[in-house]
Amino acid sequence: MAAAQKIKVGIVGATGYTGVELLRLLALHPDVEVSVITSRGEAGVHIADYFPSLRGVYDLAFQAPDEADLSQCEAVFFATPHGVAMKEASALLEKGVRGGDLSADFRLQDVPVWEKWYKHTHSSTDILREAVYGLCEMNHDAIRKARLIAVPGCYPTCVSLPLLPLLKAGILQAGKPLIADCKSGVSGAGRGASVANLFCEAGDNFKAYGVAGHRHLPEIKQTINQLQSGVAEHLVFVPHLTPMIRGMHATTYVHLQENIDPHQLLSNFYRNSKFVDVMPYGATPETRSVRGANICRISVQQAPESDVWVLMSVQDNLVKGAAGQAIQNLNIMFGFAEDAGLQALSLLP
C-alpha cells in the first residue's frame, strides 16, 4: 500500500523562538512537509545559515511574505507579532487553507476586551467568531472541525490545565480568591532585543512583572467564565521572570467545596491524556522534567492546617506552551495521531 501523502505546511514569521521550535518538531512529523517559511527581515537567507541547528534538515530559504505562495499549503502557522494574522488569515481561509495563530489575535472573543489589552483595532472580527480556542484538552471536538485555531498563550495553558477538571465539575468556591503565581523562562518574552532580557539583567535575578495587568489575564478569565461562574472575578494572576531559558511553573491556590478529592478528579480526567501527567499526591513537579517535550506535569497538595489546595503545573513554554500545542491542534484538525511529531522525551540534565 502506498504511503499517505504528506500535507504541506507554511510558517509565517519563522525566525522567532516559536518559529524555530515549530521547525524542530515538524522535522520529525511523519505526515507533514514544511514547504514555505517567511520572514520580512531575512528574505533570501537559507534556513541553515540562520538556524545552524537545522543544517541538513531543511533545504529552504526564507521568503518575503508578499512573494510566498502560501495557498499551496494545507495549513499555515502564524508565528508572528500581534496584528499580523488578523490581516492575512482571512484570505488563506478563503482559499481552503487552515490556520493556526500563535499570537493573540483570535484568542479573545470579546473585541472591546481584546482592543483594551492589545491597544489595536481588531480588523478581522468576521473570522474571529469562528476561531476555536486551541486548548486541546478542553476543545478537542471543536478543534477537529475548525478552519482557524487560536493557539493559547503559555501562561493560560499552564494555569488552565490543572483548573480545567475542577471548573468542569463546578467545585471551585465562588467568591473565594483564586491566585495564580507563575514563573517563566526568558524565552517567553520572544527573540526581540530588550534590555530587560539581556543576560546581565535576567541572569542571577528574579522579579515579578505585569502585576498591574498582564495580557494573559483576560485569556485565563475567559476560560474560567466558560466553565464556572462566580470564579473569574476573584482571579489574581502574577507572572515572574526567572533566570532560565525555557520552562514555566504555575502555582495556583484554590478553595474547593467540601469532601472533594481534587487529586482523584484530575487523575481520572487526564487518565488517557498523552500530554498531561498528573503526578502522585504530594509530588512537586520540576521545570527540567518537561524541557523540550509537549507535556504538562501537574501535582496537587493541600496547604497544612488550611482549606486551601495548591495546584502546581510545569511545562516548556515553547512546546506545550506554544509550538507543540500548535502541532497538537494540527494533528487533531487533520486526523493524525495526536502525538505525531511530539514524541520527543524531555531533556535531562
Q: What are the φ and ψ backbone dihedral angles of 347, each rounded to 5 degrees?
A: -90, 130
State how far the Cα of 237 lies from the Cα of 223, in Å rounded to an integer: 14
Residue 128 backbone phi and psi in degrees, to 5: -55, -40
Amino acid at residue number 258: E
Query: Going by C-beta distance under 8 Å and a sequence separation of 6 or more, which residues neighbour residue 184?
Result: 154, 155, 239, 240, 241, 242, 247, 248, 317
Q: How do strand 32-38 and strand 148-150 relate by DSSP bridges?
A: unpaired
Cα→Cα distances 181→2, 156, 178, 237, Å:
51, 12, 10, 6
DSSP annotation string for 144-187: HH-SEEEPPPHHHHHHHHHHHHHHHHT-BPTTS-EEEEEEE-GG
∠ CA 228-299-154 to the nearest 5 degrees? Answer: 65
301 exposure class (CB count in 10 Å sphere: 0-12, 13-18, 19+): middle
**Count of C-beta atoms within a 10 Å radius of residue 19:** 26
Spatial CB neighbours of 121, under 8 Å, sequence gap ≥ 6: 115
Task: Fill in the amino acid letter for 314.
Answer: V
Query: What is the Cα–Cα distance from 227 to 135, expressed in whole angstroms?
Result: 13
Q: What residue type is 289 in one-letter code?
A: S
Packed helices 154-169 and 216-227: angle between N→C axes, nearest 10 degrees: 20
Name the residues annotated as catalytic. Answer: 154
- Decide: 309 and 301 in contact? Cβ < 8 Å: yes
